[in-house]
Amino acid sequence: MSDIKQYMNGLGQRARVASRAMAKADSASKNQALKLIAAAIRRDAAILRAANEQDLAAARANGMDAAMLDRLTLSDQAITTMATGLEQMIALPDPVGEISDMKFRPSGIQVGKMRVPLGVIGIIYEARPNVTVDAAGLCIKSGNATILRGGSEAIHCNRALASLVMEGLSGAGLPSDAVQIVETTDRAAVGELITMPQYVDVIVPRGGKSLIARLMQEATVPMIKHLDGNCHVYIDDKADQQKALDVAFNAKCHRYGTCNTMETLLVAEGIAAQILPALAQRYQTKQVELRCDAASAAMLADYPYLVRASEEDWSTEYLAPVLAVKVVPELDAAIAHINHYSSKHTEAIVTEDYSRAMRFLREVDSASVMVNASTRFADGFEYGLGAEIGISNDKLHARGPVGLEGLTSLKYIVFGHGEVRQ
Amino acid sequence: MSDIKQYMNGLGQRARVASRAMAKADSASKNQALKLIAAAIRRDAAILRAANEQDLAAARANGMDAAMLDRLTLSDQAITTMATGLEQMIALPDPVGEISDMKFRPSGIQVGKMRVPLGVIGIIYEARPNVTVDAAGLCIKSGNATILRGGSEAIHCNRALASLVMEGLSGAGLPSDAVQIVETTDRAAVGELITMPQYVDVIVPRGGKSLIARLMQEATVPMIKHLDGNCHVYIDDKADQQKALDVAFNAKCHRYGTCNTMETLLVAEGIAAQILPALAQRYQTKQVELRCDAASAAMLADYPYLVRASEEDWSTEYLAPVLAVKVVPELDAAIAHINHYSSKHTEAIVTEDYSRAMRFLREVDSASVMVNASTRFADGFEYGLGAEIGISNDKLHARGPVGLEGLTSLKYIVFGHGEVRQ
């Protein structure tokens, strides 16, 4: 067995053992751990900044670009936000142990479900050190053990954070192995983590498309993930014009780099000539490049950042001030386009027509489907989950924004009185 | 592209198209299809028996053993049972379109969930032809398209059944491609079916451990499955003796070949000397072989079918009148043994002690956990699911017996009024 394999197996074995203790830990202990970790983070802010400075110095020496450096930086405010985030998790209800649907059956047994932790969660993420604390907190609260594999650029900061997490766990009487970080920066460690289903129940990757795509090729452990967010807004010809302008502008321009940002705008031909010029005026203020099909291009001939769309544009997640635009005959064509090109993340219709709204909700096969609201709302906090470990575009298990509940499963429980099968 | 690959891709494409129509089909159409298929099966009973006779003749010529021939046989009663099963599905509530938990958020949007079909289900099964109809019925009712790959031994019967299913779908105005059978008996077809995630959303394998193990190695499409059922009963020293005798006898002897049959009996040392001899008297009537650890062997010295257990016995699913028996100090040891050796299918405790019952329910990490009831109750019909497509030992998505709901997923839906993200 290679050294890395042996090392990862050791982490896995300890995580599996710790997961048993975490599964039966009571809410008070788990909340106490969160409280102690938050306090330790506030106490050691200077130490954390120093560790982060080490990472930043190495990153600068390696010529890391400005955007990455920004994500790697742990500011005073980020430190406070981490601590506050943990304190907010304390207030969330404990999902574990919840019993539901207990019903008597004709045989006399009473059957229902109990919510239980998944076991061991592997988190694979890139530069952002705050994920270390957010993910650890969510896994503790949901009664799971976790193995964290952060970006090698953040290794000093992650080690410092992990030691505070372990201090908090021990202080609350919980096993410190419930949260372990992968100490090696060797890439082979990731390969091991995603192929040891005997120790890891689910992987949550947090990072760019290339990371996720690579993991998907190799993982034998199931993942809660989304590859990309090619989100659509469809403006129906029965749309309220003001709502259409607001939603289509916000869905594109509120933030460009997020997975719930609109990447293709579909407009019904009955309203396109009216709405597109007005919308283009708004996009122009942000210099949004519009990649237009023939029909929309004809309506926006004077738009300064107009490009003709190619087939590839309908599948592209720009993560930038760029938007594909297409005129479609009506609802059926919009739904067909979305179900064909979408990455099944989030889609919205703008319409005042009740039947069309209901058809869009039912027939669009994506994790979040909205009527008259910006796709930017597809988010654990906005949905009221209290926290978010990730977003899933898959249909099995958790779908859409994933909070504490997505880190648990339901098992059947039976209250009997000596019943036997006849 | 090979011929088989091309053929399977064709099935997949047609299934994907049909799945869109099925997802929006109303309950009345789906129920009408079930009704028409049931009527056609009753009408064509003689034709079905003739097709089955062709399969049986070929199987006999190939030297198929008696047990397999029995499973392949489609009796008059089996034909009636298939039709009745479909008619019972009509009475089950339609899971699709159910909207739950719609709550207003501070932003003004209202967020909740809608239950929707998974899309395309691939079913891989062995000889039993009735699976063709049961699985087709469940997939139709849950709004999914399905591709059925039955055992090659049953190909004539399956073709005859599939044509009746298609007749029923068409008669109800639903696409006949919603249920397709794989017409080729080439094994490569299975390899294609489990590796085309673009067309198939989930695979449900129905068959023996060797089939499932082989599929697990190769599948890139997620599976709802269990590999085996190494189920345990733990008799606590606070057990009611009568309940202990009833449950432990029924869990082993009600049926030997089912996945929810007990394979290892754990007995607390405080009650072992009392309960084991009484229980052995019952097992002796069925000539059950007991594979005993040292302590239980000493208590059952006169038992005629006693064998000393080896380490391997604790992991073995016998599917036969054989039972591993172990004396354990108390609850903690029982839970530790189970969480170590169990296949996470179904486990039961027999006890009158409230706190121990609660600990067992919470700490045993299996799909079904029971108090004072036979493990044989772990079954979709016994649990009130109305029907069962399979049983899952996995923690993600469906866990335990899987009915209509397990063939659906929940997507988020948002009712907005023009809201944008601030």
Tens digit of each residue's pLDDT (9 = 90 or more) over B327-355: 999 999 999 999 999 999 999 999 999 99
Question: Could you tell me if A292 and A309 are in contact, meaning their C-beta atoms sit under 8 angstroms apart?
Answer: yes
Q: Considering only CB atoms, which chain A residues are within 8 Å of B378?
A: 412
Q: Is the pLDDT of residue B193 over 90?
A: yes
Judged by CB atoms closer than 8 Å, whether chains meet at B369 and A97 is answered as no
**A240 contact B CB<8A:** yes
What pLDDT, on a 0 to 100 scale, did the predictor assign at position B169? 98
B246 interaction partners in chain A (CB closer than 8 Å): 418, 420
**Which residues from B are below 8 Å from A397, CB to CB?**
396-397
Task: Give B199-236 as a DSSP string.
Answer: T-SEEEEES-HHHHHHHHHH--S-B---S---EEEEE-
pLDDT of residue B210: 87
Strand partners, A219: none
In a mutational test of the B interface, the residue from A104, A395, A405 whose CB has the highest number of chain B CBs within 10 Å is A395
Using a CB-CB cut-off of 8 Å, the residues of chain A touching B20 are 339, 363, 365
A421 contacts in chain B (CB < 8 Å): 250, 254, 374, 376-377, 382
- pLDDT for A207 equals 82
Residues 25-44 of chain B whose Cβ lies under 8 A from any Cβ of chain A: none
Instruction: Choose the closest CB to B384 out of A103, A359, A367.
Output: A103
CA distance B60 to chain A (A): 34
Beta bridge partners of A392: A400
For A421, which of B250, B361, B409 is closest by C-beta distance? Answer: B250
B330 is written with which tokens?
């108390």
Nearest chain A Cα distance for residue B64, angstroms:
32
Q: Which of A58-67, B281-290, B302-311, B364-373 has the lowest mean pLDDT?
A: A58-67
Confidence (pLDDT) at A266:
98
Q: What pLDDT score was predicted for residue A224?
A: 93
- CB contact B403 to A (< 8 Å): no
Sole residue written with tokens 């969480």: B339
Chain B (342-361) residues lying within 8 Å, Cβ to Cβ, of chain A: 348, 359, 361
Burial class (CB in 10 A: 0-12, 13-18, 19+), A378: buried
Superfamily of domain A3-224+401-414: Aldehyde Dehydrogenase; Chain A, domain 1 (3.40.605.10)
- Under an 8 A CB cutoff, do B418 and A377 touch? no
User: With contact defined as beta carbons under 8 Å apart, do A319 and A218 qualify?
Assistant: no
Chain B residues with CB-CB distance to A97 below 8 A = 362
DSSP letters spanning A275-327 = HHHHHHHHHHHTT-EEEE-HHHHHHTTT-TTEEE--GGGGG----SSEEEEEE
What does the pLDDT profile of chain A (422 residues) look like in tens digits? 789 999 999 999 999 999 999 999 999 999 999 999 999 999 999 999 999 999 999 999 999 998 889 889 999 999 999 999 999 999 999 999 999 999 999 999 999 999 999 999 999 998 788 899 999 999 999 999 999 999 999 999 999 999 999 999 999 999 999 999 999 989 899 999 999 999 999 999 988 888 898 898 889 899 999 888 999 999 999 999 999 999 999 999 999 999 999 999 999 999 999 999 999 999 999 999 999 999 999 999 999 999 999 999 999 999 999 999 999 999 999 999 999 999 999 999 999 999 999 999 999 999 999 999 999 999 999 999 988 999 999 999 999 999 999 999 999 999 999 999 99
Q: Which tens digit of pLDDT belongs to each residue from B301-310?
A: 999 999 999 9
- Determine, for residues B412 and A421 on separate chains, whether the beta-carbon distance falls below 8 Å: no
The residues spanned by each domain of chain A are 3-224+401-414, 231-382
Q: Report the C-alpha gap between B264 and A141 in whole angstroms.
A: 34
Q: CB distance A373–B411 less than 8 Å?
A: no
Spacing of C-alpha B316 from chain mean position = 19
Amino acid at A232: H
Phi, psi of B162 (to 5 degrees): -60, -35
Q: Which of B111, B370, B421 sits opposite A414 (nearest CB)?
A: B370
The complex's ipTM? 0.93
Measured in Å, how far apart are chain B's first and last C-alpha atoms?
Answer: 51
- Helix boundaries (H) for A25-75: 27-43, 45-61, 66-72
| DSSP H/E element including A104 | strand A99-104
Testing the interface with A: which of B372, B396, B405, B410 to mutate, by most A Cβ within 10 A?
A: B396
Q: Does B94 touch chain A (CB under 8 A)?
A: no
Q: Nearest CA to CA, how far is A224 from chain B (Å)? A: 10
Residue A23 to residue B363, Cβ atoms within 8 A? yes
Tokens of residue B41, six digits? 């099966």
10 Å Cβ neighbour count for A278?
Answer: 13
CA distances, A247 to each of A235, A240, A324, A361 (Å): 9, 11, 16, 17
**In this model, does residue B209 exceed pLDDT 90?**
no
The H-or-E segment that residue B77 falls in is helix B76-91
In chain A, which among 8-27 make CB contacts under 8 A with chain B? 20, 23-24
- The residue type of A193 is L
**Contact in structure between A386 and A365 (CB atoms under 8 Å):** no
Touching B: A residues 165-224, CB under 8 Å: 201-202, 222
Domain A231-382 architecture: 3-Layer(aba) Sandwich (3.40)
Look at residues A357, A335, A228 and name the one whose alpha carbon lies nearest to residue B23: A335
* Contacts across the A-B interface (CB distance below 8 Å): 222
Q: B118 — contact with chain A (CB < 8 Å)?
A: yes
Nearest-CA distance B344 → chain A (Å): 10
Please answer yes or no on whether A365 and B23 come within 8 Å at the CB atom: yes
Cβ of A399 within 8 Å of Cβ of B420? The answer is no
Most confident of A216-220, B204-208, B261-265: B261-265
CA distance B116 to chain A (A): 8
CB–CB contact A116 B365 (8 Å): yes
